[in-house]
Chains A and B, each alone.
Chain A
Amino acid sequence: QVQLQESGPGLVKPSETLSLTCTVSGGSISSYYWSWIRQPAGKGLEWIGRIYTSGSTNYNPSLKSRVTMSVDTSKNQFSLKLSSVTAADTAVYYCAREGPGYCSGGSCYVRMTFDIWGQGTMVTVSS
């Protein structure tokens, strides 16, 4: 059973770079899109962006100038960097998988949904 675990500093200073890693266990990171999603306290979910295992990325236009995602298939990990953070970036950060994969009619596909989520990690931006 695939599980995701976020890790990284829980406290980041304003103007610095937030760095988080998501470790995939119980399955391969290959051939899936992996996303970062955040949720400020008491507010809704915001999609930050996603990365495919080839390294191809898509970012939320509102955050694109500050976001960098990367993937390390040898470690079954993918990462998020968010630069020039402010208090508005304080949130619970989730990693999630687009899936699952399935096969039909001789071809295989991936479900367009977030089927697996990490437990989330709280990141506070404060001096």
Chain B
Amino acid sequence: QSALTQPASVSGSPGQSITISCTGTSSDVGGYNYVSWYQQHPGKAPKLMIYDVSNRPSGVSNRFSGSKSGNTASLTISGLQAEDEADYYCSSYTSSSTLGWVFGGGTKLTVL
């Protein structure tokens, strides 16, 4: 199973909004509503930010939102804050080759 495709980097100024895309296939992103997004700060474990395409776990800011269209999912962060600077990874359930999970290559978010 091939990794999902994410842009290597995105940037934005405090207060602005940014969107990170995550492109897969009909065997993963397009075939299941099991897309998640994780935030990872340097030296830390990933933290769940969005699950089931657009749902936020308790405690995650409503500045984070997710959506999906066809084989592409997106994470939008509004009202950017300095603490949002991190790496972001998407993941999707997949039925390509085996049942399991596939991750995106990750996107480095820089808050200017």
Contact = CB atoms under 8 A, between A and B. Distances in A.
Interface of A: 35, 37, 43-47, 49-50, 58-62, 64, 94, 111-115, 117-120
B69 interface: no
Contacts, number: 67
Contacts of B97: 61
Contacts of B45: 94, 117-120
Given A114-B48, A114-B91, A47 B103 contact: yes
Contacts of B89: 44-45
Contacts of A94: 45-46
Given A47-B91, A59-B100, 10 more contacts: A47-B100, A49-B100, A58-B99, A60-B98, A94-B46, A113-B52, A114-B46, A114-B101, A118-B45, A120-B45
7 contacts: A45-B38, A45-B91, A111-B51, A112-B52, A113-B36, A114-B101, A117-B47
A37 B104 CA distance: 13
Interface residues of B, number: 26
